[in-house]
Homo-oligomer: A and B are copies of this chain.
Amino acid sequence: MAQDQVAESLLQYVKPIIGTQRMGHTYPGATFPFGMVQLSPDTDTLSYETDGKYNPDVYKYCAGYQYDDPTIIGFSHTHLSGTGHSDLGDFLIMPTIGPRQLSPGVAHVAGSGFRSHYQHANEIAEADYYRVRLDDHNILAELTASPRVGMHRYTFPATDSAAIILDLMSGIYNYPDKNVWTYVRIENDTLITGYRQTHGWARTRTLYFAMSFSRPFRDYGCKDFSKKEVYKGFWGKFDQSHQFPELAGKQLRAWFRFAKQDGNTVLIKFALSPVSTEGALKNMRTEIPGWNFDQVRKQGQTEWNNELSRIRIDASTADKENFYTAMYHAFINPTLYMDVDHQYKGLDQGIHTANGFTNYTTFSLWDTYRALHPLFTIIQTSRNADMVQSMLSHYDQSSLHMLPIWSNSANENWCMTGYHAVAVLADAVVKNTRGIDGARALEACITTANRRSYDGIGLYLDKGYIPVDLNGNGVSTTLEYAYDDWAIAQLAQKLHRDDVYQEFLKRSNNYRNVFDKKTRFMHARLSDGSFKGNFDPLSTSNQGFIEGNGWNYSLFVPQDPKSLMELMGGDKAFIHYLDTLFTMQLPDAFFAETEDITRDGIIGGYVHGNEPSHHVAYLYDATSQPWKTQERVRMILKNQYRNTADGLGGNDDCGQMSAWYIFSSLGFYPLAPGSGVYQIGSPSINSADLQLENGKHFRIMVRNQGPKQVYVERMELNGKPLTHYSITHEEIMNGGTLTFYMSAKHPN
């Protein structure tokens, strides 16, 4: 079977458009697996708000694109995939014809700016290829990317007014003063370099670029839209707006105009670097030396196909589309963050060299420790080791000596709670991942977990819980720390560090300190030891939980479901609790007050659209009714993932939602990363073949599969009966076959 045929066969199932409508916060544009460039259309960025206040609508534009929007303002080079916070959107490129327009205009006023209408009928979004017709300009826009270089191909109508706008003002969630500084340098009539420095979610971030045109522009200019240019000095000698080769300021837009030409195309190579314009040039010259757009696309798509081929499934076309789009979304983040010469900017804002590893950023760890990194331990083993190395470098460079909470382009944005990097490290070491210095990892975990000044850790250490009168998320953070501490204990045990094991195992029991035996819920506790009044397990407001409520967070003891079950009253009570959660009717008021949770992502009171409950369906495995795990998982797979633009019920969160899908559709899930064990659910595929980096294959065969055959009657691992509802990482990595025998009936 020729490679290209293989490529064809999986690429066809990737639909980057999935999740671009409403809550998914994915983008449809072109990116290379784990690439530095995410070259994608922005339909709006709300860059043009000027009152300095938070605009709640900005939330829609975390990825720059909303499927329902009628216009595209341009194509920018960096995007977060699936996040619930905004940043990036660097270096917006827009091709135009006609009179020069340097303002994007507004969507509801035709011709008010350089933005253009477009139609989904004229839009193609593939892995590493995006194409759209810009109706207002009659321009065909095509995008592809190598790891560090975006490539554009614009086919203009026959015109002598073909122009390219390079917009350095634009950016995602561009509140006033987010642009700290920008710089543009016209090196010659085909090459531009510069940088954009921003103060956003990443507090102090600079991204460099080198931009090359396939043919010389015949005219160019730039405008600084800064409200006031205070210091002018002797720059008044020049007309800097026209044919002036070097610009610096906060709000720059440049334009380049091209002569009429047969086959009126302009290609652009746009290289990024976290280090320097020289680094960007190096990246460009190494990755895309020539001007063959189709070849760059082919290389990218071949690479995507190779990555997707790590798991080959048999399933319905719709399921394959869901599955391979999930694989696609899972293989976007973390993102490459170093030049071809291995130089990168570190958290200390200095330039470092990644010796012997590939440096990554965009670690959305509160999300991705749950399933994305565990997935990587199986099918991206060496890349996951590089990610661990990147986290350890982050730790080395951290002024607080902490592992990343949310690593964002040489910045820590401190997003969300817990110190879940420890779970990723523990999981990788426990699973014998090569290339990780376990002792160094353990030291980093211990230091991080003892940073008293960080988010209640001091209180947690002193009291065994975080009082909500001192820290608004005290309950959920206590629960998360307890789990993380258990992960550290696993790591210590693996390294035979019994002292550390005992210490952190003890800490991991702290979840008990926020369990209210009276209400049988995890419950906000005050400094004086008492539980807070006015308890409402449905409410997500002022109850001590971040992005969740008592009903969901009370189940957050993934490290020890049996003990949780005991606390909650034993098997029957626990099943009742879970059943109630999945079947309750939520009042309307719930949605009005709750961040990051919408009706789309809810089943009963179970919230799949956000992460804290991602393990919940698998908790039935600890009870006498594991078939309910099977039933719930299949229901979630069906309800929460669809192969349409609005197919994701919540933010994809840098691949975590997708990783849940991948695991669950294969029939197992990492309930407690760090354990080396996966819980059995219910596979939705017919069969799967996991190609492991050790050369082995782990195969999943599903007998008697069907939409109603959601119950696992029995299982065989390599022909021998598997009698418990779990499988170990070692068993998977040894290769072999797990066979599920399905049934439409559950045992009791």
Contact = CB atoms under 8 A, between A and B. Distances in A.
A245 B180 contact: no
Contacts of A197: 181
B349 A230 contact: no
Interface string A660-698: 000000000000000000000000000000000000000
Contacts of A433: none
A400 interface: yes
A98 B564 CA distance: 56
Contacts of A350: 276-278
A256 B732 CA distance: 56
Contacts of A455: 237
A204 B245 contact: no
Interface string A381-423: 0000000000000000001100001100000011110000000
B416 A277 contact: no
A207 B356 CA distance: 31
A193 B397 CA distance: 13
A186 interface: yes
Given A245-B399, A246-B400, A453-B243, A231 B276 contact: no
Contacts of A405: 234
Contacts of A235: 203, 414
A228 to B, nearest CB: 7
A289 interface: no
Contacts of A199: 181, 231, 248
B201 A233 contact: yes
A52 interface: yes
A290 interface: no
Contacts of A176: 230
Interface in A344-401: 348-351, 399-400
Given A203-B235, A235-B414, A413-B234, A349 B277 contact: yes
A531 interface: no
A231 B243 CA distance: 35
A145 to B, nearest CB: 24
Interface string A254-269: 0000000000000000
Contacts of A85: 233
Contacts of A178: 230-231
B413 A248 contact: no
Given A204-B248, A400-B245, A416 B234 contact: yes
Contacts of A185: 348-349, 399
Given A204-B248, A276-B351, A399-B186, A454 B181 contact: no
A200 interface: yes
A200 B231 contact: yes
A260 B183 CA distance: 48
A177 interface: yes
A237 B453 CA distance: 9
A201 B233 CA distance: 7
Interface in A466-491: none
A195 B349 CA distance: 10
Given A175-B230, A235-B203, A183 B349 contact: yes
A238 B349 CA distance: 20
Nearest to A472: B236
Nearest to A279: B350
A399 B246 contact: yes
A187 interface: yes
A175 B231 contact: yes
Interface in A156-196: 175-178, 180-181, 183, 185-187, 193, 195
A193 B347 CA distance: 13
A104 to B, nearest CB: 21
B413 A233 contact: yes
Nearest to A275: B351
Interface in A213-235: 228, 230-231, 233-235
Contacts of A454: 237-238
Nearest to A175: B230
A336 to B, nearest CB: 22
Nearest to A473: B237
B399 A228 contact: no
Nearest to A226: B177
Contact of A415 (B203, B233, B248): B233
A414 B277 contact: no
A177 B230 contact: yes
Nearest to A194: B349
Please indicate which of the listed interface residues A177, A181, A231, A351 has the most CB atoms of chain B within 10 Å of its own CB. Answer: A231
B234 A52 contact: no
Contact of A234 (B234, B415, B453): B415
Contacts of A276: 350-351
A87 to B, nearest CB: 10
A107 to B, nearest CB: 25
A169 to B, nearest CB: 16
A561 B355 CA distance: 66
Nearest to A350: B278
Interface string A421-458: 00000000000000000000000000000000111000
B248 A453 contact: no
B233 A414 contact: yes
Nearest to A398: B246
Nearest to A187: B399
A88 to B, nearest CB: 14
Nearest to A455: B237
Contacts of A413: 233-234
A243 B415 CA distance: 21
Contacts of A248: 199, 203-204
A680 to B, nearest CB: 36
Contacts of A399: 185-187, 245-246
A488 B243 CA distance: 27
Contacts of A277: 348-350
Given A350-B277, A454-B237, A52 B228 contact: yes
A523 B52 CA distance: 53
Nearest to A180: B181
4 smallest CB-CB distances across A and B, nearest first, come from A234-B414, A246-B399, A245-B399, A204-B248
Interface of A: 52, 85, 175-178, 180-181, 183, 185-187, 193, 195, 197, 199-201, 203-204, 228, 230-231, 233-235, 237-239, 243-246, 248, 276-278, 348-351, 399-400, 405-406, 413-416, 453-455
24 contacts: A85-B233, A175-B230, A177-B228, A178-B230, A181-B199, A183-B349, A193-B348, A203-B235, A203-B248, A234-B405, A234-B416, A237-B414, A237-B455, A238-B414, A238-B454, A239-B453, A245-B399, A246-B399, A246-B400, A276-B351, A277-B349, A277-B350, A278-B350, A278-B351
Given A234-B406, A234-B413, A234-B415, 18 more contacts: A175-B230, A175-B231, A176-B230, A180-B180, A181-B197, A181-B199, A185-B348, A195-B349, A199-B231, A201-B233, A234-B405, A234-B414, A234-B416, A235-B414, A237-B414, A237-B455, A238-B414, A276-B351
